[in-house]
Structure 1
Amino acid sequence: MSGGLVEATSWDEDREVVEVRSPLDGELIDSIVGSGRHEVAAAVAAAHRAQAEWARVPAGDRGAVLARLADAVRDAADELATTEHRETGRPREQARAAVEAAAGTLDEYAALGPVHRGRSLNGEHDATDLMVHEPRGVVAALTPWNEPVAVACGVLGAALVTGNAVVHKPSERAVRTGVLLNRVLAAHLPEGLLGSVAGGPRCGAELVADSTLDVIAHVGSTAAGRSIAAAAAATGAKTLLENGGNDALIVDAGIDPEHAAEQAAVGAFANSGQICTSVERIYVHRDLAEDFLAALVEQARRRVFGAPAADEIPMGPLVAEEHRAEVHRKVRDALDAGATLLAGGVLPDGDGSYYPATVLTDCRPEMEVLREEVLGPVAAVRVVDDFDQALREAAADRHGLAATVLTPDMAHAQRSWRALRVGTVKINEVFGGAPGGAAQPRGASGSGFGFGPELLDEMTATKVVHLVPPVLPGT
């Protein structure tokens, strides 16, 4: 494997320039010239040429290549984590843990890819009937800034191990991290198999409009996902969309309020609330609301900027100043509409797009902090009279990514996972789960499997083969 990355980094006309500023201090890190239509088309064409040969590589050999990719990501973990830290503000240790998780995902697909399913059918005695899975062709992967390595490795790994080629566009807010990852991976891949394009919305629009793409996989905002779906409807490309979420947390009566507050804080404040499955809205039973809120406020106050003390937890900045302004607007709008501020909610002094862990209560269903994704460290709390109200209001949402229920009542647990129309329901733990799980988001949160073994099915097409002996002359 010679290792050649097809990079597209110059715009043909009216060049689109992406300024990369660090959210840590606002410093200009780099200016990226966006990929133009000719560069995007060249990357897609190169991917088509490389894919035909790659599809002929035995599945076991493709799996071995993916195992080498996992090792390469681990070898580059420090550089990837440092780049992500500088570019997105994510604390370095958390970024490095995400890189290790990304390598683990590549290992998973290295093992699963070679044994990806196929089956024989029961037909006529003298016939052979098979269902086989073939690579779809060329996959456009558009990946987010809040998990620029882990998500990319999942999508790229599943596409490559099943025999596809990929053209990868990382988010413009994590473009340096994405391009670095592409270079690390491409060093172990055939020429042209992994294309890299860089830029902002214009570059993304050029890529998804390419009529020769077979799959478009996008992880990002709902608005971008809908635009991509419209483009794919015109070209016929299959779409995999994991888009914004508005994940609910239900805190039922009988749960320890201190433990519930710890879970809520992890869900709402991890990575400064910038995780697709962050807790966005909390429904807490009135019987324990007072104790829960007091404990949650204490959890919020433990989240600090800079070097933490022994009992404190580091908080990174939000990814960009304009993103912080939008988070703060949603908080102020909630306060103006009658919500009560218990912690945070004030723009800090100094450089960087930092925002404090924020707790709101007295929230009502019509408030934007309960209706829409905030994607910041904001815990919006609504006190409810009983579990039925909590479940009813949690389920009444247009998004469908994930939800969590903390309850001692197994009947409530059973009811909740059936009633919540989301891809993932977590009972008594906000984050976690066994490896290999897969889920399909619903509604405004997208469609298609975005991870797990089932993502291999999404990256392949099923073909039925019916084979009977030939009829020869004289027979």
Structure 2
Amino acid sequence: MSIETSRFDDEIVITDPSDGSEVGRVPVSDENDIREAVAAARAAFDEWRATPAGERGVALRNAALALGDRVDEFAELHHRETGRDRDEAAGGVRAAVDTLLQYAELAPLHRGRSLLGAPEALDLMRAEPRGVAAVVTPWNDPVAVSAGLIGAALGTGNAVVHKPSERCPHLGRLLGEVLAEHFPPGVFATVTGGAREGEILVGSSGVDLVAHVGSTFAGERIARIVALTGAHLIRENGGNDALIVDAGLDPEWAAAQAAIGAFTNSGQICTSVERVFVHREIADEFVEELVREAERRNEGGLVAPLVDERMRDSVHEQVAEAVSAGARLLTGGAIPEGAGARYPATVLTDCTADMRLLTEETFGPVAPVMVVEDFEEALERAVHDEYGLAATVLTGDLEHAHAAIDRLPVGTVKVNNVFGGAPGGSAQPRGRSGSGFGYGPELLDEMTTVKVVHMQAARTR
């Protein structure tokens, strides 16, 4: 599937996924624009890295406060470009503000280590910024995700060139305008475009670090480019997250968890539930409740449109393929009439392991269900997957919970709650889902490189 968006000459054309009306057009950065932004970042890097860490933190804090003053404006633009609910979009902007403030505090405290060497020597490990960071970010939670990568990079002394998703270029450009005002010229810049422009950026001479959040297809293309340049790469890409539903649970509660995981933001979250394995003992009641919840959301207009018609068509294609291959469609699964990119919350059963609905990331409001005979079968099926982002297990059996934590080859395991977690957690995705810490305090380690220093007194006359 192409990762480009609609173009008109050298412009990106964005339409509102709610009704198909045009939101606006954003110029595409040409190759010279991108190279110049990287060169300016390289030129600004030495002075920025030499800026005291506390002063860099103050600049980051001021940028965060400026963003916080414009939450409603950003939320409205996010809603119009991607279709996300305004309240959810506003929550994402507020999360971005909090993230920038956190890195404004954490980055100046990021320290090296002293080492125990000879008594007459000084040995230490010193963390230093990597240089110029190319940051490529997605459309589904664009402000929050961008703020994390940009904040950690700038706070540790790197210069940044940011390319937001071609599906929300107005939002990315506005974010760039608000943040750049608080940093010296060249330290932070924004370029716009699609896959071609992203590849030019990450492959540019002078880029020392690439941070990418987005699709696995795009991430793997970036990884091949970066393998030749030698830049350090962090990527959090697609997931195919499993939900295991054990025996003995309240079916209504378990179905509510499945609905939250599969239908929140219309399934357009990297850690959305993509595969459901339910124990036969409660399968009938669970599926009945899940269908009821899907229909409640559909009838109440609670399912936001997908980001664009291209995404909707991709989701529907997977659903239609599964039905043709024998899956039973219980609700949803049809493209609504009229303009826009809406798609209903959809539930299917009698799914098989070879269907694309279970082998690939769907990224839509779809819950494909497989009924299993016991917990062991569910765990075995969940384990066999090319991705490794996250997984959830719903169980009242402590032994089963421990087995899932031990055996699931993913960066995050959630027990009895599809979303949630304490502040400060940071996971490393596995398999086709990427590599490296993409958030949390450990992201500061990714943004820096370590120099070991051994210092000893010279012999003098």
TM-score when normalising by structure 2: 0.97
* Among 225, 230, 244, the residue aligned to 1:236: 230
* Among 181, 184, 187, the residue aligned to 1:190: 184
Alpha-carbon distance, 1:252 to partner = 0.5
Equivalents in 1 of 2:372, 2:339: separation in Å?
39
* Among 68, 83, 92, the residue aligned to 1:89: 83
**Which position in structure 2 is the counterpart of 1:298?**
292
Look up the SS of the partner of 1:303 in the other structure. helix
Equivalents in 2 of 1:202, 1:398: separation in Å?
26
The runs of 5 or more residues in structure 2 that have no matched partner are 1-7
Confirm or deny that 1:31 pairs with 2:19.
Answer: no
**Which position in structure 1 is the counterpart of 2:428?**
440
Confirm or deny that 1:207 pairs with 2:201.
Answer: yes
Confirm or deny that 1:258 pairs with 2:252.
Answer: yes
**Which position in structure 1 is the counterpart of 2:99?**
105
**Which position in structure 2 is the counterpart of 1:382?**
370
**Which position in structure 2 is the counterpart of 1:165?**
159
* Among 5, 13, 26, the residue aligned to 1:19: 13
**Any conservation in 2 of the 1:140–1:168 contact (CA below 8 Å)?**
yes
- When residues 256 and 313 of structure 1 are mapped into structure 2, their CA distance, relative to the original with a 3 A threshold, is farther
* Among 352, 357, 364, the residue aligned to 2:345: 357
Equivalents in 2 of 1:326, 1:268: separation in Å?
16
**Any conservation in 2 of the 1:15–1:33 contact (CA below 8 Å)?**
no
Equivalent residues in 2 for 1:219-368 (5 A)? Answer: 219-304=213-298, 312=300, 314-368=302-356
The one-letter code matched in structure 2 to 1:429 is N
Alpha-carbon distance, 1:20 to partner = 1.0
Alpha-carbon distance, 1:208 to partner = 1.3
Look up the SS of the partner of 1:280 in the other structure. strand
Deviating 4+ runs (over 2 angstroms) = 14-17
* Among 122, 131, 148, the residue aligned to 2:125: 131
**Any conservation in 2 of the 1:16–1:199 contact (CA below 8 Å)?**
no
Equivalents in 1 of 2:339, 2:233: separation in Å?
40
Question: How many correspondences in the alignment?
Answer: 454
The runs of 5 or more residues in structure 1 that have no matched partner are 1-13, 306-311
The one-letter code matched in structure 2 to 1:415 is A
Encode CA deviations 1:47-102: one digit per residue, 9 max, x unaligned. 11222111111112222222222211211111111100000000111100111111
* Among 396, 399, 404, the residue aligned to 2:392: 404
Alpha-carbon distance, 1:323 to partner = 0.9
* Among 444, 449, 452, the residue aligned to 1:456: 444
Alpha-carbon distance, 1:329 to partner = 0.6
**Any conservation in 2 of the 1:369–1:380 contact (CA below 8 Å)?**
yes
Look up the SS of the partner of 2:413 in the other structure. strand
Equivalents in 2 of 1:395, 1:442: separation in Å?
12
The percent of aligned pairs where both chains have the same amino acid is 56
**Any conservation in 2 of the 1:158–1:456 contact (CA below 8 Å)?**
yes
Equivalents in 2 of 1:54, 1:304: separation in Å?
51
Look up the SS of the partner of 2:50 in the other structure. coil
**Which position in structure 2 is the counterpart of 1:8?**
none
**Which position in structure 2 is the counterpart of 1:4?**
none
The one-letter code matched in structure 1 to 2:268 is Q
Alpha-carbon distance, 1:18 to partner = 1.6
**Any conservation in 2 of the 1:91–1:314 contact (CA below 8 Å)?**
no
Alpha-carbon distance, 1:403 to partner = 0.3
Look up the SS of the partner of 2:400 in the other structure. helix
Equivalent residues in 2 for 1:147-166 (5 A)? Answer: 147-166=141-160
- When residues 386 and 264 of structure 1 are mapped into structure 2, their CA distance, relative to the original with a 3 A threshold, is same
RMSD of aligned Cα (Å)? 1.2
TM-score when normalising by structure 1: 0.94
Equivalents in 1 of 2:103, 2:402: separation in Å?
32
Look up the SS of the partner of 1:373 in the other structure. coil
Confirm or deny that 1:371 pairs with 2:359.
Answer: yes
Confirm or deny that 1:117 pairs with 2:97.
Answer: no
Q: Is 136-145 or 115-124 further displaced after alignment? A: 115-124
Equivalents in 2 of 1:205, 1:113: separation in Å?
29
Look up the SS of the partner of 1:98 in the other structure. helix
**Which position in structure 1 is the counterpart of 2:169?**
175
Alpha-carbon distance, 1:313 to partner = 6.5
The one-letter code matched in structure 1 to 2:441 is P
Look up the SS of the partner of 2:142 in the other structure. coil
Equivalents in 1 of 2:449, 2:203: separation in Å?
21
